[in-house]
Chains A and B, each alone.
Chain A
């Protein structure tokens, strides 16, 4: 069955960096777009980035553009999110999700990122 497992979350100071990973199994990662979606504590869902199957198309939400970088390694069945210049408002649970042109049919369990001094 499809499984997505995020890792790499933790506590980081404002201005710091963090790299999240998402390990995919149960399907052929190279055939799918993938997205990162976050959820601040007690808040709703916010899509932040998608990457096409061959990494040729990448798009970011305005809130993270220029600070976050999404990438993937299909040979390792992995998706990544490099987060730089982190702010307190980036504190959230970060989910990776399989993306069928804006329909997210499988989600990971999420990894918590806390930005605080």
Chain B
């Protein structure tokens, strides 16, 4: 059972905009910034979004993050086939004194 809650799956067609939600509590998302990671099949996770809505170098601006209260979301616009991957949210948890993750959302591009 993950501390952060994500839907197990999401889907969209090429060009579409999709969002993935991440729900937490006051000790994690409610008081710390949310990060998003992308894990392509058979590879290690990669940082996608950090500090609310910052993208590391090389991440397309089709990816964006938002955060409000104890929830966050990742939006992917102009969906492409290469976006098919697992997406994880993560945040620091003040009560656990450590990072926590969501269970992951498998994105399928139809």
Chain A interface residues (CB < 8 Å from chain B): 35, 44-47, 50, 59, 61, 95, 100-110
A102-B32, A103-B35, A103-B50 known; A95 vs B45 contact (CB < 8 Å): yes
Tell me whether A107 and B32 are in contact (CB under 8 A). no
Chain B interface residues (CB < 8 Å from chain A): 2, 32, 35, 37, 43-47, 50-51, 56, 88, 90-92, 97-104
Residue of A nearest to B4 (CB): A44
Taking the nearest CB of chain B, how far is it from the CB of A72, in angstroms?
18
When the two chains form the complex, which single residue of A35, A44, A46, A59 contacts B97, counting CB atoms closer than 8 Å?
A59
Taking the nearest CB of chain A, how far is it from the CB of B28, in angstroms?
10
* Complex Cα spacing A109 to B47, Å: 14
When the two chains form the complex, which single residue of A59, A61, A100, A110 contacts B44, counting CB atoms closer than 8 Å?
A110
Tell me whether B99 and A44 are in contact (CB under 8 A). no
Q: Give 9 A-B pairs besides A59-B97, A110-B44 with Cβ atoms closer than 8 angstroms.
A: A44-B101, A44-B103, A44-B104, A45-B45, A45-B90, A45-B101, A46-B101, A47-B99, A104-B47
Tell me whether A109 and B91 are in contact (CB under 8 A). no
Taking the nearest CB of chain B, how far is it from the CB of A42, in angstroms?
10
When the two chains form the complex, which single residue of B44, B56, B98, B102 contacts A47, counting CB atoms closer than 8 Å?
B98
A45-B45, A45-B90 known; A105 vs B50 contact (CB < 8 Å): yes
